[in-house]
C-alpha cells in the first residue's frame, strides 16, 4: 500500500451529483490549478496518471481524486508541496477559472480528437450520451427514495437526544488534539461514496494519514453533531472534513493529519473496525428505542440502494461503450507527450522555488 491519500470530490447523492470541486484549490492563497477540458475518452485520466508518475518519481507525493462514476479513473491530483492541482473540469463537475491564465489555466485535451473520424459516429455518440445520463437519473431517484425512508427517523432522534452532551464530547476530544495541530488550510473531501460497486470507503487513506483510528459507534445518526462541533473547534488546523455522500451538507468523518488521528463514523467494514484503537459509543445519548427505529428504517432502505447501485453499474457500462467509440480516434501519443511536458515544467518550477 502506498502512503498517498485517495479521496473523492464528487458523490452520487439523493439530490443528484454533489460537488466539492469548487473548494479544491484556493486561488487567493498562491495555489495553482490546471483545468482539463475535453469530452469522453480524450485521455484526461491518462494525462493525470502520466503527471502523477513523473512527479512521484521526482519526489512529489500526490493526493489522488477519484471518479465516483468509476473509482478506477482519476478526476484530479493535488501536490501539497507544489501547491498545484490538476482537475477534470468537464460535466458533471464543470469548472471554470476564477483568475484565468494566472491562478488557473485551461488545458484542452479535446484537440487530440480526430474530428473528421468522429463526425459520422454522432448518432451513436448521442444515443449513448442520453442513455448513460438517464441511468444516472434513475440512480439518483433510488438514492433519494432510500434517504427519504431513513431521514424521518434521524430527525426524531436529534429532536429528543442529549445534543449538548454530544457536543461536550467534541470539546473533550478537541482539547486532547489541539497540542498536536498546526495552522493550515482545511480541506473538504468525500472519503466514501456510492459507486457502481456499492459504497467505497478509502480505508487506504485512513491508514496513510492516521496511526490512531477512532470509530464512532452511531446507530442513530448523532455523529454529524459531534463532528460538526469538533470541526468548528479545530478550524484552520489543516484538517480534512469528509462529507456524507447521502447528506452532503453534513460531516461523516474527520481526519487530523498533523495528529495522525482519524474519527470514522457509519462504518460497516470489518477491516477498519479491526484497526481501530478506540471507540466512541453514542447510544447512551438517544431517546429510548429510537436507535432501533433508525436501524429498521435503514434495513427498509437497503433494497432501494441496491437498485441505485444497479443503475450506476448500467451508467458505467454505457459510458464505457461511449469511450470505446472515442478512444480509437484520439491521439494518445500527443496526450502523453503533453503530459510529460507539463510534468517537466512543474518539476522545474519546484526547483526554482527551492
| pLDDT at 188 (0 to 100) | 97
User: How far apart are the C-alpha atoms of 20 and 317, rounded to whole Å?
Assistant: 25
User: How far apart are the C-alpha atoms of 11 and 197, rounded to whole Å?
Assistant: 14
| pLDDT at 2 (0 to 100) | 61
| pLDDT at 1 (0 to 100) | 39
Burial annotation 236-271 (CB, 10 A radius, 16+ → b, else e): ebbbbbbbbbbbbeebbbbbbbbbebbbbbbbeeee
User: How far apart are the C-alpha atoms of 110 and 41, rounded to whole Å?
Assistant: 9
pLDDT along the chain (354 residues), means of 10: 85 96 91 96 97 95 96 96 95 90 95 98 98 98 93 69 85 94 96 95 94 87 92 96 96 96 80 81 74 78 96 98 97 98 89 54
Q: Which residues contact 88 (CB under 8 A, 6 or more apart)?
A: 36, 44, 45, 48, 67, 74, 75, 76
| pLDDT at 291 (0 to 100) | 65
* Sequence spans of domains, the chain: 5-113+330-353, 162-285
Amino acid at each position: 500500500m502506498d502512503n498517498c491519500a485517495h479521496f473523492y470530490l464528487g458523490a452520487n447523492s439523493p439530490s443528484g451529483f454533489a460537488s466539492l470541486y469548487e473548494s479544491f484549490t484556493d486561488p487567493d492563497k498562491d495555489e495553482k490549478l490546471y483545468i482539463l477540458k475535453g469530452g469522453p475518452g480524450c485521455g484526461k485520466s491518462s494525462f493525470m496518471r502520466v503527471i502523477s508518475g513523473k512527479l512521484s518519481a521526482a519526489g512529489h507525493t500526490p493526493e489522488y481524486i477519484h471518479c465516483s462514476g468509476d473509482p478506477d479513473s482519476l478526476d484530479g491530483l493535488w501536490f501539497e508541496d507544489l501547491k498545484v492541482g490538476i482537475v477534470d473540469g468537464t460535466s458533471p463537475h464543470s469548472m471554470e477559472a476564477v483568475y484565468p491564465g494566472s491562478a488557473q489555466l485551461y488545458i484542452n485535451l479535446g484537440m487530440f480528437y480526430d474530428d473528421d473520424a468522429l463526425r459520422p459516429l454522432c448518432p451513436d455518440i448521442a444515443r449513448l450520451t442520453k442513455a448513460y445520463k438517464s441511468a444516472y437519473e434513475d440512480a439518483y431517484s433510488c438514492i433519494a427514495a432510500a434517504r427519504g425512508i431513513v431521514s424521518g427517523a434521524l430527525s426524531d432522534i436529534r429532536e429528543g437526544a442529549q445534543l449538548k452532551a454530544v457536543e461536550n464530547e467534541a470539546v473533550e476530544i478537541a482539547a486532547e488534539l489541539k497540542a498536536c495541530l498546526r495552522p493550515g488550510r482545511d480541506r473538504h473531501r468525500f472519503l466514501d461514496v456510492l459507486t457502481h460497486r456499492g459504497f467505497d470507503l478509502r480505508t487506504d487513506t485512513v491508514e496513510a494519514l492516521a496511526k490512531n483510528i477512532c470509530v464512532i459507534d452511531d446507530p442513530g445518526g448523532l455523529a454529524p453533531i459531534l463532528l460538526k462541533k469538533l470541526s468548528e473547534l479545530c478550524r484552520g488546523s489543516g484538517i480534512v472534513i469528509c462529507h456524507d455522500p447521502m447528506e452532503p451538507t453534513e460531516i461523516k468523518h474527520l481526519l487530523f493529519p498533523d495528529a495522525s488521528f482519524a474519527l470514522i463514523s457509519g462504518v460497516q467494514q470489518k477491516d477498519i473496525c479491526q484497526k481501530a484503537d478506540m471507540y466512541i459509543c453514542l447510544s447512551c445519548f438517544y431517546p429510548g428505542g429510537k436507535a432501533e427505529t433508525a436501524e429498521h428504517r435503514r434495513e427498509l432502505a437497503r433494497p432501494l440502494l441496491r437498485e441505485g447501485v444497479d443503475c450506476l453499474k448500467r451508467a458505467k457500462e454505457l459510458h464505457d461503450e461511449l469511450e470505446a467509440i472515442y478512444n480509437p480516434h484520439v491521439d494518445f501519443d500527443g496526450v502523453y507527450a503533453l503530459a510529460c511536458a507539463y510534468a517537466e515544467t512543474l518539476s522545474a518550477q519546484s526547483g526554482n522555488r527551492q
